[in-house]
Structure 1
Amino acid sequence: MNMWRSVESWCALWIHRHQSTINFVLLVVAYILYLLIGAGIFSAVELPYEKELREELKAIRRDFLNNHTCVSDAHLDKLLARALEASNYGVSVLGNDTDHNWGFVSSLFFASTVLTTTGYGHTVPLSDEGKGFCIFYSLLGIPVTLFFLSTCVERLVMLLSRRPVSYFHRRWAMSKPRLALLHATALAIIMAVIFLIIPSWIFLHLEKNWNFLESLYFCFISLTTIGLGDYVPGETHSKGASPHPQLYRLAITVYLLLGLVCVLVVMETFCELPQLRRFRQKFYRENVRDLDSETTNIIDRDHMSEQLAETADHMSPSDPQTVITSVSEQAETMRHNGTSIPYIPPSASAVN
């Protein structure tokens, strides 16, 4: 009996010591399982449509050869192969009255999709010189773009997330983790309306061949930098359908850049949530001895601020403003002294 208790105690101790590693392994298994489930669902949904499309193309090809006996099978294959090759380079045998793919504005749109790693793939360099320059341009431009976006996102997060949360935390004496979660949710909803719903409605009216789901699909795929390239605005516009195709393409470029910045702001806001930080800590173990003194002090101050906020949130004094001032003063004193003494509520005389 004692042996089983000792084994159970040893197992419990081992699990406790390696809890973060176990959680990480479970996370890896869950992610692989998520990939497998997604692959199974995509295969089950899309494979019947692919088979139907293949049968339809075979029937069209067979009918064309039967109705045009002067055309040989080999010549038709050569024509189709060349047409498909040109289509992969953004040149279609249909609608060749549209503007060129490598005008200045179209090239600007291509450069933005390359540097933001969206990469639709509908327009690619035709020449060897263009391919070589694209490698050099991307090698230098992608890190610069990431630096530029991170700088913009940091300033916007400070303006749109940290300052409002700190202001309302002082104003309402509300728990900061709860307030940050509400703020992040509201910010995500507002950004979704501005950069997903409204643009989808606009594309619905500008792109005659798109429905609302396809417009929403394009906006989401583009702003998340997935960029599948199956839907690209302006590709179906002829000169008669769009009087200002270059201006339209330029507006789309500006929209994609602004939308990408806002998506990154929302993601960074959620990543800074205290709830998410605590959840991430379940999957790795921080060795405090390996951290420098400044990082350790920052972590201690964060924990101290959260504890003070939770303490103030659970108290119900007669004068809320007095408690808020007391909490702020004690937090500032602790930060100055580098101590982590517990918060002491004010006495009744001090409150009165």
Structure 2
Amino acid sequence: MERKRSSRHRQRYRKRKTTCDKIKDFIREFIAFMFSNVGIIGLVVGYTICGAFMFQAIEGTEASDDREEAIKDIHSARSKTRDRLWEITQKFNVLEEEAWREQAASEVLKFQMEVIDAINKGYDGVDDVKDLSETSQWSFSGAFLYSLTVITTIGYGNVAPKTEWGKVATIFYAIIGMPLFLLYLSNIGDILAKSFKWSYAKCCLCRGCGSNRDSRSVSPENSVAVQVPEIIDETDEQYEESHIESTLGDSVKDDTITVPVTLCLAIMVGYVCGGAILFSKWEDWDFLDGSYFCFISLSTIGFGDIVPGDQIYASKGLDMSFIFCSMYLMLGMAIIAMCFNLMQEEVIHKFRSCVKAVKNCCSCSGARDDDVDTAPIE
């Protein structure tokens, strides 16, 4: 009877839920999902996309105006230099070669300075104003890469806001985005570390990697069994079978399973080298420049001296270059976080093993001293 009353009471309580309560429950579930592992990924990607649209709207118009002005300045400087060179050629006789060379060099130097000023205003080699929208660094892909470099603290510096609203938006965008991206690295790095540790344990322990099993499956029971060899002889086979099954069944939760530091370093070096090969093909860099760019980016140093699409007449495939770089950075920083997590576990495991070894040595020496003291004197 009491159970029936309680069930009826629950049903009545559920029926009494108002719309406001339902909205509150939905908001709680939504917040819990957004801060879950899947939600964090979507939140970071969505936040970066929103930032891309925001910075494109704020800085895109200003950048286009500056580039139009730079193109007009280049056209004017080019025509003036051409006319001046023709005037110098008509003015000086063929016999006055040195004077002609001096005047021509002066005009060329002026033209070079005007080109530098135009580049500082945003000139990138495009002469037609109609092509500005296709080659702008503040296109959606360029703004997406900029937003990503802000929240990852890479900050190449080759693209920066020039308007007041753009600078203010960057400050508040970074204040919210940096903690969000750190949360993304923590969660995704932990997931990747557990998955990789499970795969490593399954591959190594299933195929009979005795060295890994012996060195990474040491437990307190094993250390006691070492001191009692006759027990090991009786239960060795049963222990090995049960240990392998338990390790494969719950290898992620087992603290004794760790991944070697050398393997983590090999993963990071391989990812950097793979990115170097792809960027060297895509951007016409050599392998050293590609490796340098990948390392500087993934380590969040971000000098900005070498960046994708930062070449004169590099308008072809500029959007794809920005998108590929953004994907490489998001995946790469998660892999770096995974490797750091695994290396931290390995170092802690080694340290604990050393502490246990020291304690065992001290306990063994103490036991021997007690045996010597209690031995009968003949």
Q: TM-score, normalised by structure 2?
A: 0.48
What per-residue deviation string (whole Å, max 9, x for no partner) do you get for residues 265-324 of structure 1? 11222222236874xxxxxxxxxxxxxxxxxxxxxxxx599849x99xxxxxxxxxxxxx
Q: CA deviation at 1:263?
A: 1.2
Tell me: CA distance 1:249–1:81, structure 2 relative to 1, closer, same or farther (3 Å).
Answer: closer
What per-residue deviation string (whole Å, max 9, x for no partner) do you get for residues 165-195 of structure 1? 59857974322299977633123213321x2
- Return the match for 1:92 from 123, 134, 142: 123
Residues of 2 paired with 1:274 and 1:70: CA distance?
65
Residues of 2 paired with 1:304 and 1:273: CA distance?
10
Tell me: CA distance 1:267–1:177, structure 2 relative to 1, closer, same or farther (3 Å).
Answer: farther
Q: CA deviation at 1:248?
A: 2.7
Unaligned stretches of 5+ residues in structure 2: 1-99, 219-255, 361-378
Q: CA deviation at 1:149?
A: 1.3
Counterpart in the other structure of 1:224: 299
Taking only the aligned residue pairs, the percentage that are identical comes to 24
Counterpart amino acid of 1:175?
Answer: S
Matched, 1:265 2:265: no
Residues of 1 paired with 2:118 and 2:112: CA distance?
10
Residues of 2 paired with 1:150 and 1:264: CA distance?
7
Counterpart in the other structure of 1:254: 327
Matched, 1:188 2:265: yes
Residues of 2 paired with 1:130 and 1:81: CA distance?
24
8 Å CA contact retained: 1:271, 1:277: no
8 Å CA contact retained: 2:125, 2:312: no
Counterpart amino acid of 2:214?
Answer: M
Counterpart in the other structure of 1:211: 286
8 Å CA contact retained: 2:282, 2:321: no
Matched, 1:174 2:220: no
Residue aligned with 1:175, SS: helix
Counterpart amino acid of 1:220?
Answer: F
Residues of 1 paired with 2:118 and 2:322: CA distance?
25
Q: CA deviation at 1:217?
A: 0.5
Residues of 2 paired with 1:148 and 1:181: CA distance?
23
Q: CA deviation at 1:133?
A: 0.5
Which structure: larger Rg?
A: 2
Residues of 2 paired with 1:158 and 1:306: CA distance?
25
Aligned pairs, how many? 215
8 Å CA contact retained: 2:151, 2:178: yes
Residues of 1 paired with 2:190 and 2:117: CA distance?
48
The RMSD of aligned alpha carbons is 4.0
Counterpart amino acid of 1:185?
Answer: T
Residue aligned with 1:273, SS: helix
Matched, 1:235 2:310: yes
8 Å CA contact retained: 1:113, 1:120: yes
What per-residue deviation string (whole Å, max 9, x for no partner) do you get for residues 212-235 of structure 1? 111111111111111110111122
Q: CA deviation at 1:196?
A: 1.3
Tell me: CA distance 1:123–1:245, structure 2 relative to 1, closer, same or farther (3 Å).
Answer: same
Tell me: CA distance 1:136–1:70, structure 2 relative to 1, closer, same or farther (3 Å).
Answer: same
- Return the match for 1:102 from 135, 138, 144: 138
Residues of 1 paired with 2:116 and 2:169: CA distance?
27
Counterpart in the other structure of 1:132: 168
Residues of 1 paired with 2:312 and 2:339: CA distance?
33
Tell me: CA distance 1:109–1:304, structure 2 relative to 1, closer, same or farther (3 Å).
Answer: closer
8 Å CA contact retained: 1:223, 1:259: yes
Equivalence map 1:195-344=2 (5 Å): 195-208=271-284, 210-236=285-311, 238=313, 242=316, 244-274=317-347, 278=351, 303=352, 307=356
Q: CA deviation at 1:131?
A: 0.4
Counterpart amino acid of 2:215?
Answer: S
Residue aligned with 2:196, SS: helix
Residues of 1 paired with 2:113 and 2:281: CA distance?
38
Residue aligned with 2:157, SS: coil
Q: CA deviation at 1:92?
A: 3.5
Counterpart in the other structure of 2:371: none
Counterpart in the other structure of 2:226: none
8 Å CA contact retained: 2:192, 2:338: yes
Q: CA deviation at 1:103?
A: 0.8
